[in-house]
Amino acid sequence: MTPSRTNSYANELDEYLVIHPLDDEPELKKDPSKLGPLKLTPTVRISLFMLRGYLILMTVMLLYHLLDIAGVFRR
């Protein structure tokens, strides 16, 4: 191959058609009622239960702190 052929081939690969998102056609959305239930892996299920427990614990701690500031717990 000659260098000119290689360069022209490389120039063809470097050309891209760029479309701004506002000028692009909107994509079709899926209907959520037709999707069915989401299947969770065991790792994701455990992570979500841990997150739920963390949020419950933080809420209980916040309520305790607010009640302590309000003077509900006399020492």
Please report whether residue 18 resides in a domain.
yes
Q: What is the pLDDT of residue 24?
A: 87
Rounded to whole angstroms, how far apart are CA atoms 31 and 19? 26
For residue 34, the 8-state DSSP code is G
Quote the domain boundaries for residue 25: 3-70
The DSSP call for residue 52 is H
* Cα separation, 38 vs 46, whole angstroms: 15
Question: Do residues 48 and 40 touch, judged by C-beta distance below 8 A?
Answer: yes
Residues 9-62: tens digit of each pLDDT: 555 567 778 888 888 888 888 888 888 888 999 999 999 999 999 999 999 999
For residue 4, pLDDT over 60 is answered with: no
Q: Is residue 19 part of a domain?
A: yes
Residue given tokens 């506002």 in the structure block: 22
More confident residue, 8 or 46: 46
Count how many domains the chain has.
1
Residue 75 lies in a domain: no
Model confidence band, residue 1 (pLDDT cutoffs 50, 70, 90): very low
